[in-house]
Amino acid sequence: MLNLEKSAAAFAEAKTLMPGGVNSPVRSYASVGSTPPFIGRAEGSKIYDIDGNGYIDYVGSWGPMVVGHAHPRVVKALQEAAARGTSYGAPTLIESELAKLIMQVYPSMERIRMVNSGTEATMSALRLARGYTGREKIVKFIGCYHGHSDSLLVNAGSGMATFGTPSSPGVTRGTAADTIAVPYNDEAAIESVMERCGSEVAAVIVEPVAGNMGLVLPRQGYLRRLRELTEEHGALLIFDEVMCGFRASLGGAQAAYGITPDLTCLGKIIGGGLPVAAYGGRRDIMQRISPEGPVYQAGTLSGNPLAMTAGLETLRIITEEPEEGEADYSRQLTIRTKKLLLGWQEKAKKAGVVIQAHQAGSMFGIFFHEHEVWNYDDASASDQEAFKVWFHAMLEQGIYLAPSQFETLFLSGAHTDEDVERTIEAAEQGFKAVAEMGK
């Protein structure tokens, strides 16, 4: 049995200080009915708790740690930057350097604005879309997560595609009424919404590869249809690539699927583990942002030199030209991720457990589900009890997975073939435990 004595004591104290003992809900392990390990340090592909347990980490701080933890180059760059002062609230060279590097990989982003979180990026992109189009409604997809700003914390109302209802107390009905929530991967649903009220829609915002209901891929032609419909009705198409940016492929989902959105939101990876996100896109739209235009958006710590440094060094590592005859960084991650997932599928089959395994570049995940998973309804019909058993069996064996079936797992450049082998071996026990449930 894993010894989590110190973590349990730390959690008990934390609960007297912070709601649920955490600063972001999913960390509490409420969904798997146990106590979270408290983390003391991390290095490469491994994360270590304060009880002295080490794990192979597939959470990667929920996505950002694409080069692994405490990468020597990132650490060195940060140390040097810290010695030059941690914040000035004034323009710096490094902001332009990071902007240029991002825009090289994401040519649809002709102008970019740095912010501090994915929430801020999507919220600002929507304000911009509204300011630019002079329209008020937005369309989002059920099961896509875009951070916790009010207009995005909205559920579908009754009926298949209706004006939203707040999904959290504190979100006003007025705000929710301007958000239309539609099922993901359902062309007929979005077509009917756009037919009915397309002329009022400022923007359609989508996770082009959805990672917040578990990993769900877009159906063939779906993103292209969104592009056509938004163009037809004069609405902007916003790709929220906060998670899938630099993951689904180096150039994100927009490169992988060959679709050019009007605006893009990035986050997670572009801060290399520090709080950075960004939104950007067509020049004529971005020119509406203050101080060039009238749409207001600002940030005391936006473009912070430490955060820019961690992001820039991380992106430099993953965009470097590969050695002669080697695959580039993101291709290598894709190949290793595929190997891991194939190994899991084989072990599941051997144990007689049916899973749906999904991959997009270095993002991956499984559903304990008999049938294909294409949207939120499918995902939520997965076997939650099986997931709990699997999760704990893996944790016991030193494999650190997200404590929910509705999250995505990530591979980093620090994960070795040996890590992958160990993780596949552990999966044999994990699936066996699932198969033995209730016996």
Ligand X SMILES: *Cc1c(COP(=O)(O)O)cnc(C)c1O
215 lines the binding site for ligand X (CB under 6 A): no
Q: Contact 104/312 with Cβ under 8 angstroms?
A: no
Angle of helix 305-319 relative to helix 93-105, nearest 10 degrees? 40
Q: Give me Rg for the CA atoms of the chain.
A: 22
Number of residues that bind ligand X (CB under 6 A): 15
Among 57, 178, 186, 207, binds ligand X (CB under 6 A): 207
Which residue minimizes CB distance to ligand X? 118
* CB nearer to ligand X: pick between 277 and 351: 277
Collapse the DSSP code of 415 into the 3-class scheme (helix H, G, I; strand E, B; otherwise coil) and give the result.
coil
Burial of residue 175, with CB atoms counted within 10 A of its CB: 0-12 exposed, 13-18 middle, 19 or more buried: middle
Active-site residue, 268 included: yes
Least distance in Å: CB of 416 to ligand X? Answer: 26
**DSSP H helices in 320-383:** 329-351, 376-380
Q: Report 252-311 residues binding ligand X (CB under 6 A).
A: 267, 277
212 lines the binding site for ligand X (CB under 6 A): yes
Binding mask 161-200 for ligand X (x = CB under 6 A): ----------------------------------------
Least distance in Å: CB of 2 to ligand X? Answer: 28
Half-sphere exposure of 64 (CA within 13 A, CB side): 24
119 lines the binding site for ligand X (CB under 6 A): yes
- 182's CB contacts (< 8 A; 6+ apart) are 139, 140, 141, 142, 156, 160, 161, 189, 190, 193
Give the separation between CA 222 and CA 134, rounded to whole angstroms.
Answer: 27
Task: Give the closest residue to 412 by CA, choosing from 322, 313, 332, 309.
Answer: 332
403 lines the binding site for ligand X (CB under 6 A): no
Structure-token match 């916003």, residue found: 238
- 436's CB contacts (< 8 A; 6+ apart) are none
**Which residue among the candidates 137, 140, 268, 388 is catalytic per the annotation?**
268
Among 21, 36, 44, 118, binds ligand X (CB under 6 A): 118
Task: Give the closest residue to 38 by CA, choosing from 82, 75, 8.
Answer: 8
Binding mask 120-139 for ligand X (x = CB under 6 A): --x-----------------
* CB nearer to ligand X: pick between 308 and 353: 308
Q: Contact 337/411 with Cβ under 8 angstroms?
A: yes
Give the separation between CA 19 and CA 4, rounded to whole angstroms.
Answer: 21
Q: Contact 74/306 with Cβ under 8 angstroms?
A: no
Active-site residue, 145 included: yes
Active-site residue, 240 included: yes
* CB nearer to ligand X: pick between 166 and 211: 211
* CB nearer to ligand X: pick between 189 and 243: 243
Other CB atoms within 10 A of residue 352 CB: 10
* CB nearer to ligand X: pick between 131 and 147: 147
Among 147, 208, 251, 311, binds ligand X (CB under 6 A): 147
Q: Beta 54-57 vs 165-166: how paired, if at all?
A: unpaired
**Which residue among the candidates 29, 55, 132, 145 is catalytic per the annotation?**
145
Q: Report 50-89 residues binding ligand X (CB under 6 A).
A: none
Binding mask 226-245 for ligand X (x = CB under 6 A): --------------x-xx--
Among 146, 227, 388, 415, binds ligand X (CB under 6 A): 146
Residue span binding ligand X (CB under 6 A) among the ranges 179-187, 204-212, 222-230, 354-362: 204-212
407 lines the binding site for ligand X (CB under 6 A): no
**Which residue among the candidates 49, 186, 240, 378 is catalytic per the annotation?**
240
Name the residues that contact ligand X, by CB under 6 A. 117-119, 122, 145-147, 207, 211-212, 240, 242-243, 267, 277
Catalytic annotation, residues? 145, 240, 268
